[in-house]
Structure 1
Amino acid sequence: MKRIILAVIFGVASLSSISTKAQINLSINIGSQPQWGPSGYDHVEYYYLPDIEAYYNVPAKQYYYQDNGRWIHTSSLPARYRSYDLYRGYKVVMNSPKPYLSHNNNVKQYSKYKGNNGKQIAIRDSKKNSNDRNHSSYANGRAQRPEVKRNDDRNSGNNNQKGNRRG
């Protein structure tokens, strides 16, 4: 009987140790996600932006887009995306390393989300009363200020502040 009790105690202690390790290794980056990112994710590596076929690396705060067949990474989107609204554009969460290297597959898989503007709630907007769209950051129904792939269909965001792009 004592052996059984000791085995149970040892088993519980082992599970407790494993649980503690799992909690320590869990990475949460809620505070580092841009305000234009979709709400509901505790960890995001990349957002894929199907409307412009670009990516945003959350930890590095860098956009990845193609220019003449090469992948460029910068802290802001190029001028050709000046009118793109990160708050309204659909974003796919991607928690895999360098998802842009699988770009052709991502385009095929997520092209159905092109033009799905306003279908996601941005982090910024989830912190406010969802019925109040008249707060000061909106004008004429558009956001004035803007702020990856777990292989699922979750979203990402946009960054427009009167032509000023931030990442």
Structure 2
Amino acid sequence: MKKILLAVVFGVASLSSINTQAQVSVNINIGSQPQWGPAGYDHVDYYYLPDIDTYYNVPNKQYIYLNNGNWVFNNSLPSRYRNYDLYNSYKVVINSPKPYLSHKVHVKEYSKYKGYKGKQRVIRDSRSIRQSKPAGNKNKYREAKGNSKSREGKGNGKHGNGSGNNGKH
């Protein structure tokens, strides 16, 4: 009887010691986002630029825009936008595949940001805030540091507008 009980205990112990592996995938692409992108996102697939009705594919570093009814994928903007200021324009973060296929929805939802004059903090400017500590004024540094760590566009991870409220004002 002791041998059977001992065998059961060893059997249960060996089954419980089998290693299970959990695979966790965290996708962070902070370093690949352009300096003109809105600050506060660990991962971005696309930006939608309502002013020029264009998408930017972050991983592929390509602009996607309509030309004569066809989507064009290019490493630079067309010449008609050569004076367009990416640093002072409004960007909408979109984390869904091929957002240009839902273009009519994006135009309807984000056309209110065409010509938007509110300042959207960009990555270039947020990095300088984090890296430079003003001498003698710790409160300002804490405030800037706290703001640079905020996570804008919380929610379902599909869309965000860079202002911390997922496209809803």
Fold-level similarity (TM above 0.5): yes
Match of 1:56 in 2: 56
Match of 2:31 in 1: 31
User: Given that residues 89 and 118 in structure 1 are in contact (C-alpha distance below 8 angstroms), is that contact kept between their aligned partners in structure 2?
Assistant: no
The percent identity for this pair of structures is 59
The residue type equivalent to 2:44 in the other structure is V
TM superposition score normalised by structure 2: 0.66
Match of 2:125 in 1: 125
- Flag structure 2 segments of 5+ consecutive residues without an equivalent: 1-8, 133-156, 164-169
- Flag structure 1 segments of 5+ consecutive residues without an equivalent: 133-148, 156-167
Q: Distance in 1 between matches of 2:52 and 2:35?
A: 19
Q: What aligned pairs does 1:76-87 form with structure 2 within 5 A after superposition?
A: 76-87=76-87
User: Could you tell me how far 1:129 is from its partner in structure 2?
Assistant: 3.4
Match of 1:68 in 2: 68
User: Given that residues 45 and 59 in structure 1 are in contact (C-alpha distance below 8 angstroms), is that contact kept between their aligned partners in structure 2?
Assistant: yes
User: Given that residues 88 and 118 in structure 1 are in contact (C-alpha distance below 8 angstroms), is that contact kept between their aligned partners in structure 2?
Assistant: no
User: Given that residues 39 and 162 in structure 2 are in contact (C-alpha distance below 8 angstroms), is that contact kept between their aligned partners in structure 1?
Assistant: no
Q: Distance in 1 between matches of 2:76 and 2:122?
A: 19
User: Could you tell me how far 1:48 is from its partner in structure 2?
Assistant: 0.2
Match of 1:154 in 2: 162
TM superposition score normalised by structure 1: 0.67
User: Given that residues 47 and 55 in structure 2 are in contact (C-alpha distance below 8 angstroms), is that contact kept between their aligned partners in structure 1?
Assistant: yes
Q: CA RMSD in A?
A: 2.7
Aligned length: 127
The residue type equivalent to 1:105 in the other structure is V
User: Could you tell me how far 1:118 is from its partner in structure 2?
Assistant: 4.8
User: Given that residues 40 and 162 in structure 2 are in contact (C-alpha distance below 8 angstroms), is that contact kept between their aligned partners in structure 1?
Assistant: no
The residue type equivalent to 2:65 in the other structure is Y
Larger gyration radius, structure 1 or structure 2: 2
Q: Distance in 1 between matches of 2:120 and 2:40?
A: 10
Q: What SS class does the counterpart of residue 107 from structure 2 fall into?
A: helix
User: Given that residues 94 and 151 in structure 1 are in contact (C-alpha distance below 8 angstroms), is that contact kept between their aligned partners in structure 2?
Assistant: yes
Match of 1:110 in 2: 110
RCO comparison, higher one (Cα < 8 Å, 6+): 1
Q: Distance in 1 between matches of 2:160 and 2:33?
A: 18
